[in-house]
Structure 1
Amino acid sequence: MNHDSGIVHLSLYPSLFTSSNDQPVDHIVMPLQCSITSFILVKPSHFLGVVYPTMIKKEIAHIRKQFKLDHEMLKVFDILNVYIMKESSEVYHYECQPFALVDREKQELYMGNFKKLLAGELDQKLFELRFQEHAEEPSQVLLHQGLVTGDTEEWMNLMLVLVEKMLADKTYERDTVVTFIRGQYFRPTKGRNDEAEESEKDEMFAHPFILCSVNSTEPPRNTLMFDYVEREFKYNVVVDPIIKLSAPDQGFFYPSVTDNASDVNRILYCAGKANEPNIHFIEQVLTAEKSVTAQEERGIFEEIVKEVAGDQFDAATIAHVYEEIHQIIETHEEEEPPRLDYRDVERMLTASGVEDVTTEKVEQAFQTIVDDRNYELKASSVIPKFTSKSIKIDTKIATISVSPQDLKYVKQVNYRGKKCLLIEVDEDVVIEGFTLNTETL
């Protein structure tokens, strides 16, 4: 693509910008290599409280794949590293520099870290969060200012304020490094096949962003090394701590993106481990609203079903419920992920053969469990991965893994007064090269 002749749209939500005469505009068209400071952001009060569509998996995947060196669709401008001492939780050192001046080997390590940070499933490791509307010291304002400023020193100082919030009422068990970058990535204004040839006249959306990664350190390992010059084996003593860039503790990407537009009212929080978001970081540092994890959502669904129909089901019924949910997900045509209200749950349970299920009972169960009869469950969160062996059946003898789609081939039976697990198979079972005899019960 010819960057000199290209055109870029800086795309945030409509009416998020004002022109020089303070009139709202839908978008701004500017040269591809222009500064991101060439626009004016309207006051947050103009857009707080507006509800926009949520970020979807393919948009996160698009952002993540840009994080590699020399990618023409990604520009990283500056990087700020802050070193925090354990126990004392004080800033020991910080440095800010243009990313282009960082050694290439370091750039590769950073890119790998950022990619790792953005990996994972939505509502498990990645959480799109709304900002608190009435926070006393809203981080949204700091991030806005950092997003729009063209002054590197101002951006650095704003990020250091965020670091101060990280240190408030928090003691770190290990030395920790907080890394911030700011840059922008591009997307074509028209959806097209990734393999399609780019035109010199392609128009692109430019998305300015701020990314933060929090990484702990670990002590260096004592090693034995061979000295080629002296021709002898030596004990290698290293005292410098190792920054664990391959395993970020947590971080964030701001702003969130939906339908090729940046949603400045939301932020993508990235947890270090699945279903373990740091609530203190979310609420106190980011001043965002806590989100329900997929694991918690599944627990809510289970409690609702138990409230309606009890806690004992045969495997075929459970499998049928999962098939009903999977069918809803597969046939859903809208960009927004499908959700289940009490009417949907009632239909699924009835279709799966559960007896004595009424809309009123399910509605009351929603009210009892989540204190909201209009609560909607995200369909993808309440079902294990449908085609993989995501269900674990733990027994005293063995642990068996089975996929939701194959759960119907499993039964619990009573054989000679003992509970047994019966698994239907299509072929002989082979153990360590030996074929099992088939017994007739």
Structure 2
Amino acid sequence: MNKKEVLEIRKQFSPENCAITRICGCYVDGDKEKRLEFKEAFLSLPEEETFKYYDIFKRTLSGTLGKNLINMGFPLEQELKGGTQDFLMQLKNSKLTDDMLVSEFYDKVIEYYDFGEHYLILLIHAAYDVPGRSSDGSEMFDASDSVYDYILCSICPVTLSKAGLCYNALKNSIEDRVRDWIVADPANGFLYPAFNDRSTDLHNILYYSKKPEELKDYFIEMVLGCSEIMSAGNQKESFQHILTNTLGDDCDYTVVKTIHENLNEMIEEAKEEPEPLSLDKQDVKRLLNKSGVTEEQMESFDKDYDENIGAGTSLLASNITNLRKFNIKTPDIVVQVNPERTDLVDVQVIDGRRCLVIPIDDQVEINGISVNPR
């Protein structure tokens, strides 16, 4: 799914566009025991509750594609009878009215979702009447092409509110506040099936993780049955490892700076594209060559890439560089540079020592205090 498709589904979580037919939930304590199960026709809920649920569902489809929102495909064996995709299909097709299937889903989550605290499993079914599109791209609501039938799962931590004092309006007094269990924003979740090319894609799923470095790999493998994926942090570390191995002793400031600049330029050129920029092995090889890495230095590149990332695995450009930050670090000093002005920093030999050289103008501050550079 791309940004536009995610946004199109997010827009359904409002009173005007609501296509949710049913909501189910299971409250789980820190000992993995079910405390509460419920199921309702969504539109029968009080209005003030539905707005709070809308917020949760929107947040389950929020964040950056490739970091918080990850497109994943099912291995072929999981689409056979008894596989995870087959189970999710049954769950979707039941429209969450089969209590046995819903309870089995809760049991799977409880068994394989490693959290250790209280949490709420929310599951909704919705049927979105996908409007057609005219030649100019505008929606034609009276010309529906298809119905996108889906389920959305949100797993929300439940935390105890802080102790404190409060004002009791009835008694007109200050007293100890009653501590409540509060449902927080979702930590993980998924949308099935995916909404690719504005239509149902039964072979793919969109996974959500609030923290990109805590993807819950075991949950993904055992409940969703999807192949192992690399987190944003792992992609960056693997890319850095490959650079270090490829360049060896020739890994100098100029080459690394040039790679950073070229990557950011590629991201800038692709920013209007619906899909985030991804780089396969050949793309990364071209990037390094363009940045001054020689063919001789690239001798071990293919092997390093296959071992650390995978021959058929691509990296998201936004995961392996930082558009907002360019740091130069020594054991005692950290220099933060505007990523658009890396040209201001140079490496020179002065009095026999290699030095970072940064030209300064009349505006210099130290700990917020303006000083005279002259």
Query: TM-score if structure 2 supplies the norm length?
Result: 0.85
User: How much identity, in percent, do the aligned residues show?
Assistant: 26
Q: d(CA) in 2 for partners of 1:121 and 1:228?
A: 43
Match of 2:373 in 1: 438
Letter in 2 for 1:321: I
Q: String of CA shifts for 1:344-396, please: whole Å, max 9, x gaps.
A: 33433232223454665433443454463xx353352454243x23x344455
> Match for 2:245 among 279, 295, 307?
307
Q: d(CA) in 1 for partners of 2:368 and 2:116?
A: 50
Contact 2:246 2:298 in 1 (8 A): no
Match of 1:59 in 2: 5
> Match for 1:77 among 21, 31, 34?
21
Q: d(CA) in 1 for partners of 2:201 and 2:359?
A: 50
> Match for 2:216 among 262, 278, 282?
278
Change (3 A) 1:254 1:221: same
Alignment of 1:98-247 (within 5 A): 98-135=41-78, 137-149=82-94, 152-154=96-98, 156-168=99-111, 172-190=115-133, 201-238=142-179, 240-244=180-184, 246=185
Letter in 1 for 2:364: V
Match of 2:342 in 1: 407
Letter in 2 for 1:428: Q
Aligned-pair CA distance for 1:250: 0.9
Match of 1:345 in 2: 284
SS at match of 2:321: coil
Q: d(CA) in 1 for partners of 2:11 and 2:335?
A: 35
Q: d(CA) in 1 for partners of 2:107 and 2:195?
A: 27
Match of 1:292 in 2: 230
Letter in 2 for 1:220: S
> Match for 1:253 among 191, 209, 219?
191
Q: String of CA shifts for 1:294-332, please: whole Å, max 9, x gaps.
A: 222222222222222216544432232233334444556
SS at match of 1:168: helix
Q: d(CA) in 2 for partners of 1:117 and 1:352?
A: 38
Letter in 2 for 1:347: R
Aligned-pair CA distance for 1:252: 0.8
Letter in 1 for 2:171: E
Contact 1:339 1:376 in 2 (8 A): no
Contact 2:156 2:187 in 1 (8 A): yes
SS at match of 1:162: helix
Q: d(CA) in 2 for partners of 1:289 and 1:108?
A: 35
Q: d(CA) in 1 for partners of 2:212 and 2:229?
A: 13
SS at match of 1:153: coil
Q: String of CA shifts for 1:42-68, please: whole Å, max 9, x gaps.
A: xxxxxxxxxxxxx2233223322432x
Letter in 1 for 2:226: A
Higher helix proportion? 2
Letter in 2 for 1:148: N
SS at match of 2:19: strand
SS at match of 1:282: helix
Q: d(CA) in 1 for partners of 2:304 and 2:358?
A: 33
Q: d(CA) in 2 for partners of 1:424 and 1:193?
A: 51
Query: TM-score if structure 1 supplies the norm length?
Result: 0.73
Change (3 A) 1:96 1:317: same
Aligned-pair CA distance for 1:95: 0.7
SS at match of 2:97: helix
Aligned-pair CA distance for 1:99: 0.9
Match of 2:302 in 1: 363
Match of 2:364 in 1: 429
Structure 2: runs of 5+ lacking an equivalent? none
Aligned-pair CA distance for 1:227: 3.0
Structure 1: runs of 5+ lacking an equivalent? 1-54
Aligned-pair CA distance for 1:182: 0.9
SS at match of 1:307: helix
Q: d(CA) in 1 for partners of 2:293 and 2:115?
A: 50
**CA RMSD between the two structures:** 3.2
Q: String of CA shifts for 1:86-128, please: whole Å, max 9, x gaps.
A: 21x1222201001111122211111111122221122222221
Contact 2:112 2:218 in 1 (8 A): no
1:264 aligns with 2:202: yes
